[in-house]
């Protein structure tokens, strides 16, 4: 968190002023968030970080002077404690892999709503990663196994889930949707959603991606199914 318990201090690097100003207002309206830097390119961000500490930087993928990938790599080198989320209109495997390979803790689509943005920032700062539930489980496995993503959980134990939860976890890792899991186990969708939420709470995961990462990291499921 930010200095003296002030909350999460955020920097924004985005060349489109309308989007930058709107994002700044949105984040400043969220309790516990404070935008302390808002600049128009990656070079200005790097320069400003020399004197203004932040917890997380939201960096646009496409910018003049120094683009998002270049800026992310330099932030990682010079300010290793700063978490980075790359912003883009893209939401495909190639972009996500490029972001993570170059040191980002995750990414956000510019189409994501305020709730998703808030979740992403908190997750990146508190757990070291954020990928949304649309992210391929195979991609997640690849990134965890390669060490490109190193998630932090409140609890690390192979005994934390009961037998029923372990069955649900394996089905999640096998790319099954909530409804498909409910149908397979002859349970209601609400029952599966409740069990999933309880599982996430046990380990401090922010979304289903966190459950998959936890399972992979702890060798709790058949890894052939998520590779």
Taking each continuous run of H as one helix and of E as one strand, the counts in the chain are 10, 5
Give the strand pairing for 83-88 and 8-13.
unpaired
Is the alpha carbon torsion for 130, 133, 136, 140 positive or negative?
Answer: positive
Distance CA 188, CA 211 (A): 20
User: Token pair of 140, please?
Assistant: 């997640």
The pLDDT profile of the chain, 227 residues, written as one tens digit per residue, is 554 446 899 999 999 999 999 999 999 999 999 999 999 999 999 999 999 999 999 999 888 888 888 999 999 999 999 999 998 876 666 777 778 888 898 888 888 888 889 989 998 998 888 887 777 676 777 777 777 777 777 766 667 899 899 999 989 888 788 899 999 999 999 999 999 999 988 888 878 888 888 888 888 765 444 44
The pLDDT, as a whole number, for residue 221 is: 66
The pLDDT, as a whole number, for residue 81 is: 93
Distance CA 80, CA 53 (A): 12
Whether the CB-CB separation of 75 and 85 falls below 8 Å is answered with no
Helices (H), 33-113: 42-49, 68-78, 93-101
The pLDDT, as a whole number, for residue 3 is: 43
Give the strand pairing for 33-39 and 8-13.
parallel
The pLDDT, as a whole number, for residue 58 is: 95
The pLDDT, as a whole number, for residue 209 is: 82
| Domains delineated in the chain | 3-132 (3.40.50.2300), 135-227 (3.40.50.2300)
> Token pair 């979304």 is at which residue?
207
Whether the CB-CB separation of 11 and 54 falls below 8 Å is answered with yes
102 DSSP assignment: T
């Amino acid at each position: 968190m930010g200095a003296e318990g002030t909350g999460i201090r955020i920097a924004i690097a985005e060349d489109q002023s309308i989007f930058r100003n709107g994002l700044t207002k949105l984040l400043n309206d969220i309790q516990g968030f404070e935008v302390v830097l808002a600049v128009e390119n990656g070079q200005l961000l790097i320069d400003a970080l020399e004197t203004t500490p932040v917890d997380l930087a939201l960096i646009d993928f496409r910018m003049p002077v120094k683009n998002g990938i270049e800026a992310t790599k330099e932030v990682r080198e010079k300010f290793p404690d700063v978490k980075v989320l790359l912003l883009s209109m893209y939401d495909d495997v190639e972009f996500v892999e490029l972001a993570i390979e170059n040191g980002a803790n995750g990414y956000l689509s510019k189409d994501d709503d305020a709730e998703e943005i808030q979740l992403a920032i908190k997750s990146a700062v508190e757990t070291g990663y954020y990928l949304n539930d649309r992210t391929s489980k195979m991609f997640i496995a690849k990134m965890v196994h390669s060490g490109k993503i190193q998630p932090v959980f409140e609890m690390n134990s192979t005994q934390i889930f009961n037998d029923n939860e372990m069955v649900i976890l394996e089905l999640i890792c096998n790319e099954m949707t909530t409804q498909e899991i409910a149908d397979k186990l002859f349970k209601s969708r609400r029952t599966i959603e409740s069990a999933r939420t309880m599982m996430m709470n046990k380990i401090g995961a922010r979304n289903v991606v966190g459950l998959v990462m936890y399972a992979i990291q702890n060798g709790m499921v058949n890894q052939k199914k998520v590779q």
